[in-house]
C-alpha cells in the first residue's frame, strides 16, 4: 500500500510538472508571437517614420529661421504686419505693392499668439474660444492654434472668405498636421498639390518645400480655395473643385467641411458668413 501511495504521489508530481512545463511553453509561444509581430510592424513602419522625421526636420529649419532673414518670403503674411498693440493689423495695399510690407515668420506668429495678441476683427473671447476649440479637438498647442487662427483671419480678410471656413478646410484636410502628406502627394495643412500648383510657390525661396510651412501653405491653399469658389460660384461648388471632384458628387467632402465650419462657428460665437 505504501508503494502504491508513493507511486500515486509521484504520478501527481509528474502531472503537475508536466502541466507547468506546458504552461511555460504556451506563455513563451505567446511572447514569441508578439515579438515576431512587433518586428514585422517595425520593419514596415520605421522607413516611413524615418522619412517623416526627415521632412519634419527640414520644415522646422524653414519655419524657425531668424526673423531678420527678410529676403526669405517663406512663412510670411504677404499683406499683414504685427502691430505694437494687441492685434494683427493689415498693411495697406499700396505698401504691399511697393514691397514695403513687413514680413511675419511663423515663429513671430507663435510669439504673438503666446502674448495673447489676436487678429483684427476678433474679440479676446472669440480668439480664446477658437484657439481652445482647435487645440482641444485636434490636440495641438494653444499657441499654435492661436497663430493659425490669426493667419486665417488675416488671409481670409484679404480674399473676402470666412476665416472659419479656412479653419474648417484645414480640419478636414490634415487635422492640423502641417507635415501631413497624402498618397497622391498633397502636402501640409491644406493638402496642397505642389506638383499641380508649383507656380504658386515661386514667391518663396524654398519653392515647393514651402508647402510644409504652416503660413505659406495656408496662403497658397486659400488662394486655390478662393479661385475654386469664384469659378464654381458657390462655397459648395468651390469645395468640390478644391477636393478635385469632377463628377456629380464630391464623396461627402463638402458636407464634412461645412459641418465642421458650423461647429467652429458655434464654438466661437461668430456667425457663418458665406
Poorest-pLDDT segment among 53-62, 149-158, 222-231, 256-265: 53-62
pLDDT given at position 27: 75
Task: Answer yes or no: is 16 within a domain.
Answer: no
Q: Which of 205, 203, 161, 114 is nearest to 190 (CA)?
A: 161
Burial of 271 (0-12, 13-18, 19+ CB in 10 A): exposed
Cell 464654381 appears where?
Answer: 232
103: left (phi over 0), alpha (psi -120 to 50) or beta: beta
Task: Answer yes or no: is 39 within a domain.
Answer: no
Task: Answer yes or no: is 78 within a domain.
Answer: yes
How far is Cα 223 from Cα 199, in angstroms, rounded to an integer? 12
- Bridge partner list, 88: 82, 119
Mean pLDDT within 102-123: 82
Poorest-pLDDT segment among 44-53, 115-124, 176-185, 224-233: 44-53
Q: Where are the alpha helices (DSSP H) in the chain?
A: 2-63, 93-97, 106-114, 124-138, 142-159, 163-174, 214-232, 235-242, 253-268
Q: Hey, what's the cell of 47?
A: 522607413
Q: Hey, what's the cell of 58?
A: 527640414
pLDDT given at position 54: 55
Residue 126: other Cβ atoms inside 10 A = 18
Residues in the chain: 274
Local confidence band at 67 (pLDDT 50, 70, 90 cut-offs):
very low
Q: In the predicted model, is pLDDT for residue 85 greater than 90?
A: no
Computed over its alpha carbons, how large is the radius of gyration of the chain? 28
Q: Hey, what's the cell of 9?
A: 504521489
pLDDT given at position 90: 39
Local confidence band at 145 (pLDDT 50, 70, 90 cut-offs):
very high
Q: Hey, what's the cell of 173?
A: 484636410
pLDDT given at position 24: 75
Contact 135, 142 (CB under 8 A): yes
Local confidence band at 45 (pLDDT 50, 70, 90 cut-offs):
low
Task: Answer yes or no: is 85 within a domain.
Answer: yes
Local confidence band at 7 (pLDDT 50, 70, 90 cut-offs):
low
Q: In the predicted model, is pLDDT for residue 4 greater than 80?
A: no
Give the chain's mean pLDDT: 78
Answer with the residue of higher pLDDT: 53 or 125.
125
Task: Answer yes or no: is 28 within a domain.
Answer: no
Q: In the predicted model, is pLDDT for residue 46 greater than 70?
A: no
pLDDT given at position 100: 27
pLDDT given at position 108: 86
pLDDT tens digits for 169-224? 999 999 999 999 999 999 999 999 988 998 888 887 677 888 999 998 999 999 99
Task: Answer yes or no: is 243 within a domain.
Answer: yes
Q: In the predicted model, is pLDDT for residue 1 greater than 80?
A: no
Task: Answer yes or no: is 274 within a domain.
Answer: no
Containing structural domain, residue 261: 64-268
Task: Answer yes or no: is 120 within a domain.
Answer: yes
Q: In the predicted model, is pLDDT for residue 257 greater than 50?
A: yes
Mean pLDDT within 132-146: 97
Answer with the residue of higher pLDDT: 266 or 97.
266
Domain holding 155: CATH number?
1.10.530.10
The total number of structural domains in the chain stands at 1
How far is Cα 3 from Cα 239, in angstroms, rounded to an integer? 89
Amino acid at each position: 500500500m505504501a508503494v502504491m501511495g508513493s507511486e500515486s504521489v509521484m504520478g501527481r508530481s509528474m502531472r503537475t510538472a508536466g502541466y507547468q512545463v506546458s504552461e511555460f511553453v504556451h506563455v513563451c509561444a505567446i511572447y514569441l508571437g508578439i515579438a515576431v509581430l512587433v518586428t514585422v510592424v517595425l520593419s514596415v513602419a520605421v522607413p516611413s517614420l524615418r522619412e517623416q522625421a526627415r521632412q519634419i526636420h527640414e520644415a522646422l529649419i524653414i519655419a524657425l529661421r531668424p526673423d531678420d532673414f527678410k529676403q526669405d518670403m517663406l512663412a510670411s503674411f504677404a499683406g499683414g504686419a504685427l502691430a505694437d498693440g494687441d492685434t494683427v493689423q493689415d498693411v495697406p495695399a499700396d505698401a504691399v505693392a511697393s514691397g514695403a510690407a513687413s514680413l511675419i515668420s511663423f515663429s513671430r506668429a507663435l510669439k504673438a499668439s503666446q502674448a495673447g495678441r489676436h487678429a483684427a476683427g476678433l474679440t479676446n473671447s472669440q480668439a480664446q474660444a477658437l484657439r481652445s476649440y482647435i487645440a482641444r479637438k485636434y490636440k495641438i498647442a494653444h499657441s499654435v492654434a492661436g497663430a493659425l487662427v490669426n493667419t486665417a483671419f488675416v488671409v481670409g480678410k484679404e480674399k473676402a472668405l470666412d476665416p472659419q471656413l479656412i479653419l474648417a478646410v484645414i480640419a478636414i484636410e490634415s487635422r492640423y498636421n502641417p507635415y501631413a502628406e497624402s498618397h497622391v502627394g498633397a502636402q501640409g495643412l491644406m493638402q496642397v498639390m505642389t506638383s499641380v500648383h508649383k507656380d504658386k510657390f515661386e514667391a518663396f525661396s524654398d519653392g515647393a518645400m514651402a508647402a510644409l510651412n504652416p503660413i505659406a501653405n495656408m496662403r497658397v491653399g486659400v488662394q486655390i480655395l478662393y479661385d475654386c469658389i469664384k469659378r464654381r460660384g458657390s462655397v459648395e461648388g468651390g469645395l468640390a473643385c478644391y477636393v478635385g471632384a469632377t463628377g456629380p458628387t464630391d464623396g461627402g467632402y463638402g458636407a464634412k467641411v461645412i459641418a465642421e465650419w458650423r461647429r467652429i462657428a458655434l464654438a466661437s460665437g461668430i456667425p457663418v458668413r458665406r
